[in-house]
Amino acid sequence: MTKPSLPEPFDVAVVGAGPGGSTAAATLAAGGARVALIDKASFPRDKACGDMIGPRGVALLRELGVDLRAPKRVVGDMLLVGPSGGRLPLPAESGDSYPGHGWLVSRRDFDNALFQHALSFGAEAVVARMSHVESERGGFSLKLDNGRRIQAKAVVGADGATTQVGRDLGMVEEGASLYGFAVRAYLEEEVPIPVISLFRHQGTLFPGYGWIFADVEGVANFGVGVGVFADRKRASLATQSLPHYLELLKRQGWLSAKARPARRLGGWLKMGGLGVEAARGTALLVGDAAGLVNPLQGEGIHAAMDSGLAAARALLGVGEPAQVYLAHLRMTHLPFAQTASALQRIALSHPRLAEAGIRALTSRYAPEVVGSAWGLYWNDLLRGAGRVRGATLARAMATAFDAFTRTAPERRG
């Protein structure tokens, strides 16, 4: 028998309590809205991730006042390692709007801190899978797998890359989406500096990259991510290549011969804002549901929090929420996301060209400023960078990539 609906309609139902949903729920509840924060998992829960919060994420957490008491490691410079073992240091420097470091913190702890933050403002936790959402009488009706129904005036889809909210409301076009799949595992090893590896696999450049991030209290996170365009059947490539990547890390001396991975977990990435209508009326998609992962390096936590904040402000403020929210995405995330999506497609379709570019970047003749500039560009750190080292070259790169991809299909959105 179907259980009755909860007594009153909520102002907003937020589906998904990851960084996007919890940030949206905290902001909405702080602004006086009655919010249901629905997640199929009970927190704390694990999530496949490299566990790296980039500098803009760190800045935003400070702005939001999140109390992150979890064990974490402060990380600055990184290393990019090319297919022939050449290295390009990617120095970290404070910009005008972000610090010169990121944080490594397990997603179990990080997401739980954000979730508790949302509850502390009065968001109401609902532990259930949302199985269907539909528009109904100027609002939304959400069916939960425990038989309950929730009515809300607005819905925030923060339910990750395969978003049920987006699919039910017809806001996702699968064939036009840009997916990646990544798998991570933990290892008990001390690793001094985060490393990103571009490597050859089965005779050609691997269509993605591997990472080994510095350890947090003796536990390091390593993994492999692969770009699959809209063909989600190709995801197994990441899982298959993980043992090869582990061997490469041992051969290159980043890990000891005895390193044994544990707690392997994979997940989808949805990138570039492609194949998604991120807002319609009072239905707003945020984070991975809106496809906001960086197509060049897979970062999505900052974009999830930022879009969650923007969606909440659009719903609380004056003006038409969809228009206000879309204007924010167009101004902040989409210009880089669309150019980077085109660059990703070109690199994946022309592995020899991509490999030549990477070899040039990681050659010992590349001047240091190239690492600073590439670090700024591919981490999308130019906005708010100010006059940091490499900014002039990074702006020249951005202009060149913009011109090079101007007629690309990814730029038409």
Q: What residues make contact with ligand FAD under the rule CB under 6 A? A: 15-21, 38-41, 47-52, 54, 129-130, 158-160, 164, 182-184, 223, 267, 269, 287-289, 293, 298-301, 304
Nearer of residues 48 and 373 to ligand FAD, judged by Cβ: 48
Q: How far is the CB of 185 from ligand FAD (least distance, A)?
A: 10
Q: How far is the CB of 303 from ligand FAD (least distance, A)?
A: 7
Nearer of residues 20 and 95 to ligand FAD, judged by Cβ: 20
Helices (H) and strands (E) in the chain, counts: 11, 20
Task: Let me know the angle formed at the C-alpha of 196 by 240 and 98, rounded to the nearest 5 degrees.
Answer: 135
Q: How far is the CB of 145 from ligand FAD (least distance, A)?
A: 8
Q: How far is the CB of 217 from ligand FAD (least distance, A)?
A: 17
CA dihedral 106→110→115→119, nearest 10 degrees, is 130
Nearer of residues 86 and 298 to ligand FAD, judged by Cβ: 298
Max Cα-Cα span within the chain: 71
Sheet holding 102-104, edge to edge: 52-53, 102-104, 73-75
Closest residue to ligand FAD using C-beta atoms: 300
Contact (Cβ atoms closer than 8 angstroms) between residue 160 and residue 288: yes
3-class DSSP state of 134? strand
Burial 236-274 (b: 16+ CB within 10 A, else e): ebbeebbebbbebbeeeebbeeebebeeeebbbbbbbbb
Q: How far is the CB of 276 from ligand FAD (least distance, A)?
A: 12
Nearer of residues 36 and 205 to ligand FAD, judged by Cβ: 36
Taking the alpha carbons at both ends of the chain, their separation in whole angstroms is 45
3-class DSSP state of 166? helix
Nearer of residues 20 and 272 to ligand FAD, judged by Cβ: 20
Nearer of residues 239 and 363 to ligand FAD, judged by Cβ: 239
Residue 115 CA to residue 56 CA, distance in Å, equals 19
Distances (CA, A) of 232 to 118, 162, 177, 269: 33, 11, 10, 11
Q: How far is the CB of 207 from ligand FAD (least distance, A)?
A: 16
Q: How far is the CB of 216 from ligand FAD (least distance, A)?
A: 12
Q: How far is the CB of 186 from ligand FAD (least distance, A)?
A: 12
Residue with tokens 């660059």: 343
